[in-house]
Structure 1
Amino acid sequence: MGKLLLLILTWALMLMHSAAEPLFFHNDSTLTWDEARSYCQVCFKDLVTVTPKYSAIIAHNVTSDYWIGLRKNSTGNSSSLSWSRWANGDRLTFQNWYPGWPVFKSPVPKIDCCSCSCTCPLATTPPTTTYTTPDVTNTSETLENMSSYTNVTGLNTAGTSGASISGLLPTSIPTLSATVAPIPVEATCGKTPIPVPDLPDPNANYIEDSCVAMLSIGAWVEKNCTDLLPFICYEDRFSGKVSVDNVTANSALLTWLPGPGVINYYRLEVTNLTGGNMLTQNMGLTLKYSLGDLSAGYKYTVTVFAVKCGRDIDDPQKTSFYTIPNKVVKLSVTMQTNTSITLSWDRPEGNVDLYRVQYNGTEQNTSMKIVNTSGMEIDRLNPATLYKFSVWAGVNDISKWSDESTVNEYTKPGTVSDLMVSDNTDISLNLSWSRLPGEISGYRVVATNDSNYIFNATVVKQPPFKIEPLPPGTKITVNVTAQVNGSLEGGTVQVVSYTAPGPVSNLTLSSTNSSLTAHWIRTADNFSSFTVELQLDGGPVIKTANTSDPYTTFTGLKTAAKYGVTVYSVSGGLRSPPVNSSIFTLPSPPSNPSVVSNTSSQITFQWIAPQNIATAEYSVRLNSSFWTQTWSAVVNNKTSYMFNNLTSGTKYQFEVRTKAGDLLSDPVSLTAYTDAQLQSISFSMLCSSAQPLHCDNDTIREKVFQKLNARLIQLLGDSVVWSITKQQSENV
């Protein structure tokens, strides 16, 4: 039972924390419990539900007995069932009874009626209780003379004058009375019965139809539900907000939430920024209103009161908003440089608190309050750039902006900087420079050789830019000028450089198994030396040679490896375009072939790689002369190979070679047999002779067997596994 009570209390506390905050209203008008509840349901939510959290607050203004929202159930006299739910349906998880309350109905005590010398008789007639309901007068009335209620939480108070609940309250107040009939007693002993003692009625304070009232100290007692008492109502705190949509410079659409319970009407109040009362209007039961005739750029405050039983319910719905300002006029550019633009505009009609200026995604604000013709210099811009400038008029909280006013203008072009030459070849130069911000329409590039124009063009691409064709081994002077909008140019920048010498020709290579030699033909251009680079299988350079002769030799190389050779002509620190060629060093053969494993249909061979080999590649071959079968394959980076689908008991010839491109080393070979799966073949020969008993001669039979064996050796040899035995049959 204790655990169950703990769970119920925990559940109740969770409900209290999650429920809406209630407001409490004390009404000093005296009504029956039913009338009080009907009034609370019409003008509030219901009679008050008392919880531990709000018990002290509710009792704060209680000066006498007040009805609360608890009534005894008609389920019986059990204390666990008499009071189970509040008027609003909440479970009863908290009780605060005054000592002695509640009162439960007790049974009538059993009384002995005779002396001890006599046998007491049984009652022949059970006790009965009768109830009568007298005529009642009509109690329907308005609440004109009811005393005012009070919100004990400090919220607004109002009178109930004019609020009528006629028709909602009961039309009669029931009055109950009880008469107990005497119990007749019949004695069998004939003696005079003992007089019935005058005992007090155990149910004198029991109330059949009881409702709960709160005393001024906060404790609870039972009262007859028809008693006239003041009462306490409650209502959940209403939380709502006015929504504003479709805002323009002169209008807005207002919508709000419906109030709790039966609302009589809504009252709308609208004020402007200075607090003046602009509009007060009874809206009936509508939940929206379209505001018009507003001024652009001003702040408006909207309050919607829900009126119920002649009072404004607490916490009206509120919001504030700005109308959209008018757009600025006469936006123009008054001054420009290669890094700045100065704007000016006129203030629009209506209210404007600030302006927003935006260009190419960057945002800046001027003074927060501008009331006259205004302007703004925007600096740190990029040269030779077309900008779109946008200006909006705004309100103080930056929630509303006017329509956009725009103007487009170029900044003046800048001068190319950091002009450099790179990637010099024998016929071209690569130009690069610091990228100018903005939208450069093109660059005029002029290249000269001893004052002779060899290149003159306007290019539209951004750097880097390649100038070609140019003469090899030549001094080149380059001038670059930036342009904007197709015609406006900035300053000219100059740079001097040289083209590289021309490439060598006829590069040829020859090799052994550990070296290679390169030969080439020099060009007629000026040069000082040659640089030769050696690479292995396309990897990084592993050796470099510098020579003034048109040939060089590299030694100590790997066998069967592909080497690349690159040759440059060098002059003044510049290298010619590369000339490339490649060749394999001659392959060395592998060694020590052997059989790793064999079965009736497979043989796996292995071998040892040649010394000083780079990337190993091998050509393997297997054949059977008896079956005229041949298998071949190329093996990469492995020194073993398995042949499948072979014939059992067969001799195979294996050979392996090192492979380098199209070059093959000398082979190494090995023979091996698959495992034999032997089968017996029997045949017989019949001997006949004119000589008697000639076929029984062992010498003759041995000669015949020897000839047969020799024939099989001739046919099969050691190409397959075989054997022959002889067996002599009995003479028939």
Structure 2
Amino acid sequence: MGRCLGVKVCVFLCCALNLMCSTAERLYFTQNDSLTWDNARNHCKTCFKDLVTVLPTDAYVIALHVTSDAWIGLRKYVYSPSNSTDNSTSNRGMPWSRWANGDPLAFQNWYPGWPVFKSPLPKIDCCSCSCTCPTATTPLTTSFSSTFTTTSLPNTNFSNVSQNWMDINVTDQNVTSYAELINSITQNMTRTTSSQSTTPATTLPLEAACVRTPMAIPDLPNPNKDYIEDSCVAMLSTGAWVEKNCTDLLPFVCYEDRFDGNVNVTNVTASAALLTWLPGPNGTSEYRLEVTPINGSQTKKVTLDLSYKLEGLTAGSGYMVKVFAIKCERDINNPQEANFYTIPNKVDHLNVPMQQDTSVMLSWNKPEGNTDFYRVEYNDNYIDTKTTSEVVTGLTPGTLYNFTVISGVNDTSKWSEPSTIQVFTKPGKVSNLIVSDNTDTSLTLKWGPPVGGVTGYRVLVLEKNITLNNTVVKETSFRVEGLLPGTEITFNVTAQANSSLEGETVTTSSYTTPSPVSNLTLNTTDSTLTASWNSPTGTGLTFKVNLQLEGEPVNETIVQVNSVEFIKLKTAANYTVKVYAISGNFQSPPVNSSKFTLPSPPTNAMVSYWNQKEIQIEWTPPVNIATATYLININSSFWGQRWSTKVTNQTSYKFSNLNSGTNYQFEVITLAGELKSKAATVTQYTVQNKIQISLSMMCSSEILLYCSNSTTSKQIYEKLNSTFTEMLGGVFWKLDNLTSENAAT
């Protein structure tokens, strides 16, 4: 609330809602009993937290619960004793400064005309006028009384008699109320009348006597009839506030912070569990414990402690626990809750009634108590079942398996002790035996693992039935070195299990190849690629050149020269060239190299969407581009911020968490490996979140009327506009022109 304390300048202080302190979630309780404010607060502090404190975010909710005038936790002097007889306010602090619970008053919602402030007493000038004086033949010597009848006096002409006035100006600083003011005036007039009535009459020159009669006291309204020295606040059903006498009997609204807690369940066994919970709010008298077995009946227990041991539970069973804090014979908002299961018992008689090379059948007996399902675990795998037997399939021959069976509950929070058994399967033979990576002196042998477990592979290398190598390896590949170019080689591979048990042998053969080319070089433009190389030693060689894009073949050609050119390629694409030397039916191992075509810049960069916090930009990709990778830069010169992001195969991108009313610059660049295209740029302001700030300036000058000069106002505006332009470049702002009245102030 702002208040003008002068003619020219008014200062207003505003408090934004987002600057208010956050509070815990509160619950509100309307009490229909009519009590005084003090008694209402005592009741709230005893059975709840306190009288309600109204916050901007909760005002609407509280008003919905109020159907008539009701006390809230605000008092003019909340810390002053309610029974104090001291009328001074020097020891009471600032009025309307804090709520009853001590929180500062940061929000007000007074009904128009409230609160009522004490008005200054009016200055009243009272006077008496002279009455009509009758004529007399002899001097009057009798004294006047304060009461008389005018008809008892003879007619007298008072045209030459001067009037006497009595002025009553109340300046007594001890007069603090309207009633005391009127009383002071009355006493003053009574003293005046009495002094007149006891003064002996004097002989008038015109043989006439005059008496004074008091003027009637003016009927003035009491300006402080609604003023309450130490008032309390009530909320109307509309949500607005008014002042009332704290002794009035009204309903009231209490509040309580939401009490959140949980029951901690520990030391869980098959038949027992220890429950502990958090203490309730101050004033909690006891706790009620509700235990509900799943598919069972409910049991209730009352305790003064913060723990309880449950015993006699059923193994593998679920239980729901609720703990209610009791205060003033009521449950405090929400209970503390927990769900838990007891530990199921272990299965027994685990055995293997059937076993094969790829499957095993397991069986067991149901344990005592309850269990919801069983889990069979093996080699980091598991199978859940509700029966007491399970066939495990998809196993590998020649592999030793450790099978574990445990019983569990529905939420998988509790498991029994494990029952374990070991099973071994048969070895198998390798699959997909191939020869690859042929060179003029070496090649690589690869195969797939057999169906089942394996501990190693025996590899036998033969050249025309002559053993060149006999090695046991653990990997599924083997590189053979020291061979002659163009030689046929035979390979035998046998899987082994348990380091001694072998499966069926698999055989294949292949040839060595010519030597590879050397010095493969690639040159690119934005749409072409030229490959060149050196030929290996030999005669009659041809070359197979394979062009790939992201691992996919694009073109393949066979040439007799040492170079080839590929045209009409995609821009900013990473091409791989593989070159093989061919001699007869054999080809050398490939020599490969990769290179990007030059990137072309994106076009038509534009902003397609923006608001206060987001800007989305779009662009058109370069023509004939493969995998489009873009580098997007965003920059705010005002905030000194700059960051980048990369996107692939997108033509739009949305930036979030931006500042409102800020000018952002964007750059979109096509990437091709380490190569960058020229940038497509665009700028955009985010939507302004306008906040009006009033600037009040007072001009003082020794030159008469200088401050009211319109030229001075214009100069001030131009100076402010220039200063803000320099300071606020890059964000939205607007300076309204000064009016002539503003210029004068």
The TM-score normalised by the length of structure 1 is 0.52
Q: Which residue of 1 aligns with 2:501?
A: 488
How much does 1:16 deviate? 8.6
Secondary structure of 1:40's aligned partner:
helix
Corresponding residue to 1:397 among 408, 411, 436: 411
Aligned partners of 1:115 and 1:193 also within 8 Å: yes
How much does 1:302 deviate? 1.1
Amino acid corresponding to residue 374 of structure 1 in structure 2: S
How much does 1:303 deviate? 0.7
Corresponding residue to 1:271 among 287, 292, 295: 292
CA shift digits 1:502-558 (9 cap, x unpaired): xxxxxxxxxxxxxxxxxxxxxxxxxxxx9999989xx986452359xxxxxxxxxxx
Question: Is 1:351 the counterpart of 2:351 in the alignment?
Answer: no
Q: 1:130 to 1:347 in 2, by over 3 A?
A: same
User: After superposition, where does 1:10-89 map in structure 2 within 5 Å?
Assistant: 10-11=16-17, 15=20, 19-28=24-33, 30-50=34-54, 54=58, 58=62, 65-73=69-77, 82-88=95-101, 89=103
Corresponding residue to 1:7 among 14, 28, 39: 14
Q: Which residue of 1 aligns with 2:388?
A: 373
Aligned partners of 1:130 and 1:179 also within 8 Å: no
Give the Cα separation in 1 of the matches to 2:279 and 2:484.
Answer: 89
How much does 1:413 deviate? 0.8
Q: Which residue of 2 aligns with 1:113?
A: 127
How much does 1:118 deviate? 3.2
Q: Which residue of 2 aligns with 1:544?
A: 537
Secondary structure of 2:46's aligned partner:
helix
How much does 1:238 deviate? 2.5
Q: 1:496 to 1:180 in 2, by over 3 A?
A: same
How much does 1:221 deviate? 4.2
Amino acid corresponding to residue 248 of structure 2 in structure 1: D
Give the Cα separation in 1 of the matches to 2:98 and 2:429.
Answer: 88
Give the Cα separation in 2 of the matches to 1:320 and 1:494.
Answer: 62
Structure 1: stretches of 5+ with no match in the other structure: 132-176, 501-529, 548-569, 576-732
Amino acid corresponding to residue 392 of structure 2 in structure 1: I
Q: Which residue of 2 aligns with 1:384?
A: 398
Give the Cα separation in 2 of the matches to 1:66 and 1:418.
Answer: 87
Give the Cα separation in 1 of the matches to 2:120 and 2:26.
Answer: 41
Q: 1:178 to 1:43 in 2, by over 3 A?
A: farther
CA shift digits 1:141-164 (9 cap, x unpaired): xxxxxxxxxxxxxxxxxxxxxxxx
Secondary structure of 2:537's aligned partner:
strand
Amino acid corresponding to residue 164 of structure 2 in structure 1: C
Q: Which residue of 1 aligns with 2:212?
A: 192
Residues matched between the structures, number = 464
Q: 1:486 to 1:334 in 2, by over 3 A?
A: farther
Aligned partners of 2:270 and 2:344 also within 8 Å: yes
Amino acid corresponding to residue 409 of structure 1 in structure 2: V
Corresponding residue to 1:242 among 253, 263, 282: 263
Q: 1:122 to 1:96 in 2, by over 3 A?
A: closer
Give the Cα separation in 1 of the matches to 2:173 and 2:538.
Answer: 136
Structure 2: stretches of 5+ with no match in the other structure: 3-9, 81-87, 131-162, 197-210, 520-531, 541-582, 589-745
Aligned partners of 2:440 and 2:483 also within 8 Å: yes
Q: Which residue of 1 aligns with 2:228?
A: 207
Give the Cα separation in 2 of the matches to 1:91 and 1:468.
Answer: 88
User: After superposition, where does 1:448-597 map in structure 2 within 5 Å?
Assistant: 459=472, 461-464=474-477, 480-495=493-508, 542-545=535-538
Give the Cα separation in 2 of the matches to 1:178 and 1:260.
Answer: 53
Aligned partners of 1:385 and 1:437 also within 8 Å: no
Corresponding residue to 2:253 among 210, 214, 232: 232
Question: Is 1:414 the counterpart of 2:428 in the alignment?
Answer: yes
Give the Cα separation in 1 of the matches to 2:401 and 2:472.
Answer: 23
Q: 1:469 to 1:15 in 2, by over 3 A?
A: closer
Q: 1:546 to 1:259 in 2, by over 3 A?
A: same
Q: Which residue of 1 aligns with 2:330?
A: 311
How much does 1:232 deviate? 2.7
Aligned partners of 1:442 and 1:458 also within 8 Å: no
How much does 1:91 deviate? 0.8
Give the Cα separation in 1 of the matches to 2:104 and 2:296.
Answer: 44
CA shift digits 1:239-293 (9 cap, x unpaired): 3332334444333343333333321122221111125114x22231x43334333
Aligned partners of 1:347 and 1:374 also within 8 Å: no
Question: Is 1:339 the counterpart of 2:358 in the alignment?
Answer: yes
Give the Cα separation in 2 of the matches to 1:266 and 1:179.
Answer: 63
CA shift digits 1:289-340 (9 cap, x unpaired): 3433332222111111111111111111222122232333333333333322
Q: 1:423 to 1:200 in 2, by over 3 A?
A: closer
Percent identity between the aligned chains? 47
Secondary structure of 2:42's aligned partner:
helix
Give the Cα separation in 1 of the matches to 2:485 and 2:109.
Answer: 108
Q: 1:40 to 1:456 in 2, by over 3 A?
A: closer
Aligned partners of 2:514 and 2:586 also within 8 Å: no
Question: Is 1:126 the counterpart of 2:131 in the alignment?
Answer: no
Give the Cα separation in 1 of the matches to 2:470 and 2:535.
Answer: 43
Secondary structure of 2:431's aligned partner:
coil
Give the Cα separation in 1 of the matches to 2:515 and 2:233.
Answer: 112
Aligned partners of 1:533 and 1:541 also within 8 Å: no
Give the Cα separation in 2 of the matches to 1:236 and 1:482.
Answer: 71
How much does 1:233 deviate? 1.9
Give the Cα separation in 2 of the matches to 1:84 and 1:22.
Answer: 24
Give the Cα separation in 2 of the matches to 1:341 and 1:473.
Answer: 49
Q: 1:314 to 1:426 in 2, by over 3 A?
A: closer
Give the Cα separation in 2 of the matches to 1:472 and 1:81.
Answer: 104
Q: Which residue of 1 aligns with 2:344?
A: 325
Q: Which residue of 2 aligns with 1:616?
A: none
Amino acid corresponding to residue 537 of structure 2 in structure 1: T
User: After superposition, where does 1:434-449 map in structure 2 within 5 Å?
Assistant: 434-436=448-450, 439-443=453-457
Amino acid corresponding to residue 355 of structure 2 in structure 1: Q
Amino acid corresponding to residue 440 of structure 1 in structure 2: V
Secondary structure of 2:344's aligned partner:
coil
Q: 1:51 to 1:411 in 2, by over 3 A?
A: same
How much does 1:41 deviate? 0.9
Amino acid corresponding to residue 71 of structure 2 in structure 1: W
Q: Which residue of 1 aligns with 2:739?
A: none
Amino acid corresponding to residue 255 of structure 2 in structure 1: Y
Aligned CA-pair RMSD: 5.0
Amino acid corresponding to residue 31 of structure 2 in structure 1: H
How much does 1:358 deviate? 2.8
How much does 1:113 deviate? 2.9
Q: 1:87 to 1:432 in 2, by over 3 A?
A: closer
Give the Cα separation in 1 of the matches to 2:252 and 2:399.
Answer: 79
Give the Cα separation in 2 of the matches to 1:307 and 1:200.
Answer: 58
How much does 1:435 deviate? 3.0
Q: Which residue of 1 aligns with 2:136?
A: none
Secondary structure of 1:338's aligned partner:
coil
How much does 1:92 deviate? 5.7
Secondary structure of 1:544's aligned partner:
coil
Amino acid corresponding to residue 242 of structure 1 in structure 2: V
Amino acid corresponding to residue 283 of structure 1 in structure 2: T
Q: 1:65 to 1:428 in 2, by over 3 A?
A: closer
Secondary structure of 2:125's aligned partner:
coil
Q: 1:194 to 1:357 in 2, by over 3 A?
A: same
Amino acid corresponding to residue 258 of structure 1 in structure 2: P
Q: Which residue of 1 aligns with 2:282?
A: 261
How much does 1:354 deviate? 2.3
Amino acid corresponding to residue 265 of structure 2 in structure 1: V
Amino acid corresponding to residue 272 of structure 1 in structure 2: P
